[in-house]
Amino acid sequence: MIVSSVSTTFLDTAQRCEKKLEYRYVKRYERRVTGVKPERGTWVHELLAAHYQAIQDGKDPTKAAEEAHSQRLEERWDNLFDEEKEALGDIPGQAWAIYERYAERYREADKRWVRILLVEKYLKIPMPQLPVPLGIKCDLVVLDDLGFVWVVDHKVVSTIPDEENRMLDTQGPRYILGIQQLMKIKGIKPKGVGMIYDYVRDRVPAKPQLLKNGKGLSKAQIDTDYDTYLATILEHGFDPADYEDKLNDLSLNARPYFERWQVPKSDERLRQELQNIRAITERSIYPKEYYARSLDRFSCSWDCEYKNLCLIELEGGDPSLELKANFVVRKEDE
């Protein structure tokens, strides 16, 4: 077997392209430096993990997040070349600003959680229907004040997805299946297990610019919110009444920066998802002599970090320079 458990990433990769599966799970190639969005998303995830782990442990969440931020700066950011830092931009500052706003936004709402059960844990859960355990990495698992268990998945996104996106999501049902099985193994009987899609936009609201004459703020369309625009008005000593039209527009139409969606999944959806997991697993976990490429003019360009490597090998080229420049080899399973 090429893996000791099947994660959502493994299952999705197996469905997408066998060659990508080979690169990631057989040869274990991993990008040395990821793109801006994955790097920022990972940074925000680590800060939130430290935040909630501290709450679970009865410690100061802000202090824990500060320590996690400093550790990532030292272990990750300081080891990048200047050119790499320049290409990524001010990710440390962006991630911290997003974290601070998130912590303030949900300070009161999180008090509804009676207990934090798990924080950022990779679980290998034995499933009777599968030849290997189901692997799930839960950002957060909580028990609410009504007796329901929720799997909270932090999703750092450019745009908050719609309902159809949540219906098409495969990760949520897999997480619920895993946690249901874990509860069963431990003899715990919650009222139910559901999914919370915890959307976090990958930016902070922009501040409106001061007009050139210094006598007001621009009312041009920018990606901001009511609170930020109002705070900028007051910062410059202007009268909010002069910006009533802009503030009203933002209060009604501004894109949200945070949203949480509580989504249960039907028994039928979970049954079918389990069948899908079993089918994908049985055809993908054993080594093959040849891994077929699923070339696609659109998907390969936006969803595959191995595209250049794949094209070099496809034309019979030497991949050694590409591997040396952009990849490392993982020692163990993800």
Residue 5: band (very low, low, confident or very high) from pLDDT cuts 50, 70, 90: very high
Q: Give the β-pairing of 327-329 and 148-157.
A: unpaired
Question: What integer pLDDT is reported at residue 7 of this predicted model?
Answer: 95
Contacts (Cβ under 8 Å, ≥6 apart) of 323: 29, 309
pTM over 0.95: no
Q: Give the β-pairing of 258-263 and 148-157.
A: unpaired
Dig out the tokens for 29 from the structure. Answer: 């190639």
Dig out the tokens for 166 from the structure. Answer: 């949540």
- For residue 295, give the amino acid letter: L
pLDDT tens, 199-236? Answer: 999 999 999 999 999 889 999 999 999 999 999 999 99
Residue 332 pLDDT > 80, yes or no? no
Dist CA 88 CA 139 (whole Å): 24
Q: Which residue has the tokens 């959307």?
A: 199
pLDDT tens, 120-160? Answer: 989 999 999 999 999 999 999 999 999 999 999 999 999 99
Burial label for 149, CB within 10 Å (0-12, 13-18, 19+), is buried
* Nearest of 21, 13, 24 to residue 334 by alpha carbon: 24
* Nearest of 285, 320, 315 to residue 13 by alpha carbon: 285
Burial label for 310, CB within 10 Å (0-12, 13-18, 19+), is buried
Beta bridge partners of 134: 6, 125
Dist CA 169 CA 163 (whole Å): 10
Burial label for 56, CB within 10 Å (0-12, 13-18, 19+), is middle
- CB distance 119 to 113 below 8 Å: no
pLDDT tens, 10-30? Answer: 999 999 999 999 999 999 999
Which three-class secondary structure string do you get for 11-71?
A: HHHHHHCHHHHHHHHHCCEEECCCCHHHHHHHHHHHHHHHHHHHHHCCCCHHHHHHHHHHH
Dist CA 214 CA 236 (whole Å): 9
- CB distance 45 to 139 below 8 Å: yes
Question: What integer pLDDT is reported at residue 43 of this predicted model?
Answer: 95
Please give the radius of gyration of the chain, using alpha carbons only, rounded to the nearest integer: 23
Mean local confidence (pLDDT), 320-324: 96
Residue 333: band (very low, low, confident or very high) from pLDDT cuts 50, 70, 90: low
Percent of the chain with pLDDT over 70: 99
pLDDT tens, 241-262? Answer: 999 999 999 999 999 999 999 9
Question: What integer pLDDT is reported at residue 81 of this predicted model?
Answer: 86
Residue 84: band (very low, low, confident or very high) from pLDDT cuts 50, 70, 90: confident
Alpha-carbon distances, residue 199 vs 9, 146, 204, 261, 331 (angstroms): 19, 23, 13, 8, 32
- Rounded to whole angstroms, the maximal C-alpha distance in the chain is 72
Average pLDDT, the chain: 94
pLDDT tens, 54-73? Answer: 999 999 999 999 999 999 99
DSSP 77: G
